[in-house]
Structure 1
């Protein structure tokens, strides 16, 4: 009798310990799964759901025609085709309103291009081709800086613009984003080419 009772007690203790181990193992699995889910959610929030500011740049430009006067009253008239780019690194479209790009010599506007209302897709670059007529008519007659630049054989223009739009993450969340363009273009007057484009 005593032996049977001792064996039964031992069996009960072992069964209790086994159940306890199973419960602990189950809790460990649940905790590990919870940690995994939390990590996935954090990665999702910090990468996919993070709203990045798109970039607006002049990608390339070509002169279609160029007329430069180097006489007593220097001047220029040019036609330029430029490819603009709106680079969107978000996991959602960037829809923006129509705008304009101003081209300036010094602080004086010498040309303007129209940017249509459109969108840049998920993690892609929207390319836009515009034509702009550049003229020194708005500059003060006898501009000494223009005379020096023409004699040196190059002009430096600055392009400025602002796009207003919204980033639509996964077609659910919308976030307003305004982006600016600020690029310098160096135009060679001898070879009639856009030699360099630098954007901030």
Structure 2
């Protein structure tokens, strides 16, 4: 008997200590995203992560890091903004309601952290949304996308999601190449 595929999301995760973003276990139970409500919820969460966590943490990080790292931080900020716009386009094309702010604002305190630690904290959000975009691409029923968008060719939806996954994974690799492995001795 083949070994079951390990789910992309398992267990709970916390974002910046006290802000619980969602439970990864929620996504494990999804066989397919087949309702408007499920898709709307997940796209809205993606949009909120891009807006509230990535954008805010990146700009706070920009101020906190040395000029050596600022070009990388600006790349992350620019692409996070583009991702937010891509998600807004998907929501509009699928005739889903505009995003609402449901996740509480996060507080990012980079005081006492090394520049490399700041960048690693920032890309933690990239890892989260890369997993979420992968789930959306793999589990969203094409019939649902066709019904919501009113078009038969739904490649646009999956193309945008694949690009988002690729971008987020590239961000992680870019920062890891720049910062290496961080070990803090307390």
Name the structure with the higher helix share: 2
Structure 2 length normalisation: TM-score? Answer: 0.26
Structure 1 length normalisation: TM-score? Answer: 0.25
Name the structure with the higher strand share: 1
Q: Which has the higher contact order (CA 8 A, sep 6+)?
A: 2
| Larger Rg belongs to | 1
